[in-house]
Amino acid sequence: MYKLLIFDWDGTIIDSTQRIASSIRASARDLGLPEPSWDAAKDIIGLGLPEAIKALFPNEGDVIIEPLRQRYAHHYLEADETPTELFPGVQRTLESLKAKGYRLAVATGKSRTGLEHVFAQTGIGSLFETSRCADETTSKPDPHMLHELLEETGVPRQQALMIGDTEYDLEMGQMAGMDTVAVSYGAHHLDRLRVLRPVKEIHHFAELESWLDGLSA
């Protein structure tokens, strides 16, 4: 049924929501901006960084985007020591899915530099055939990055599946005409994701493979 599995990264593949939120809050403090709450900082995960900054600081204008981007990169990549690890079962499940013939891709709100950094850090970048980042296309929830991935891979939307933990992921998939899977352990509460009618909810990453096995049995 599905040939191409497209994964969000933060909050779906890797447990990075706390580090993202703490880096955003620290960046705001550095620049003397109002510090967003933890909930507010987590809520924008999945958006491209310029879009996230505009959502968190709507009255500050575009002038703060570049300074905040620089401070965020400093904190996330260098200063913040909040651990970021793959969620349990991710590597084994991805390796197994790839061995079964599924094509794997990433659609993320990260920058290309940020994604390449975590690809190298985790050692799983080679499992993905292709990827799209927010700084080289349009930010979620616009479906443009999914359209690009479908065009690149030649897979029709009916045979592609978007897997993510935020409403931005699922809305993007919905607007692209794709089925979606909601991940319950990430940034957004499952109740928000259910509104977007995913075809499946998973509470542990390995459940995705079990479900797909059942579809093909």
Residues 162 and 181 sit within 8 Å (Cβ to Cβ):
yes
CA distances from 60 to 7, 19, 24, 65, 205 (A): 32, 24, 15, 9, 38
Q: Which fold has domain 4-15+84-216?
A: Rossmann fold (3.40.50)
Q: What pLDDT score was predicted for residue 216?
A: 80
What percent of the chain clears pLDDT 70, i.e. is strictly above it?
Answer: 97
What are the structure tokens assigned to 93, written together?
């499940």
What is the torsional sign of CA 206, 209, 214, 215? positive
Domain locations in the chain? Answer: 4-15+84-216, 17-79
Interval 57-97: pLDDT, tens: 998 888 999 999 899 888 887 766 666 799 999 999 999 99
Average confidence score pLDDT of the chain: 93
pLDDT at site 79: 64
- Looking at the DSSP bridge assignments, the partners of residue 175 are none
Q: Does domain 17-79 have CATH number 3.20.20.370?
A: no
Highest mean pLDDT among 56-60, 98-102, 187-191, 212-216: 98-102
- Specify the pLDDT at position 84: 78
Tokens of 42: 């987590």
> Under 8 Å CB-to-CB from 42, ≥6 apart: which residues?
17, 20, 21, 187
> What average pLDDT score do residues 17-32 get?
92
Q: Is the pTM of this model over 0.75?
A: yes
Residue 169 pLDDT more than 90?
A: yes
Tokens of 40: 């507010």
Q: Please give the backbone phi and psi of residue 169, each rounded to the nearest 5 degrees, phi first.
A: -65, -50
